[in-house]
Amino acid sequence: MPGNASVHVVIANKLGLHARPAMAFAETAGKYRCDVSILRGEQKIDGKSVMEIMLLAATAGTELCIEADGDDADACLDELRDLVERGFDEDES
């Protein structure tokens, strides 16, 4: 039975969801079979689309809800949450 789960995250890296983090997010989500969506307020986008992620214009401190629906939803959300909390592994020095 498919799983449906969500997690709230806050964008931690100072440059927000620009091209590199958007690509990292979409590539990570793309490794999973589940559907992935990102919600920002009333806006809901495809979490596997780099362009849609960039159009969110999520800056540092923006709270997002990530939803996943499918057999591997929990594993997908765990990896995406970790990616966001690590600041997309960007060097902030």
**Spatial distance between the Cα atoms of 17 and 5, rounded to a whole number of angstroms:** 22
61 and 14 Cβ atoms separated by less than 8 Å: no
**Spatial distance between the Cα atoms of 39 and 52, rounded to a whole number of angstroms:** 11
Active site residues: 18
Tally Cβ neighbours within 10 Å of residue 35: 17
**Spatial distance between the Cα atoms of 70 and 88, rounded to a whole number of angstroms:** 24
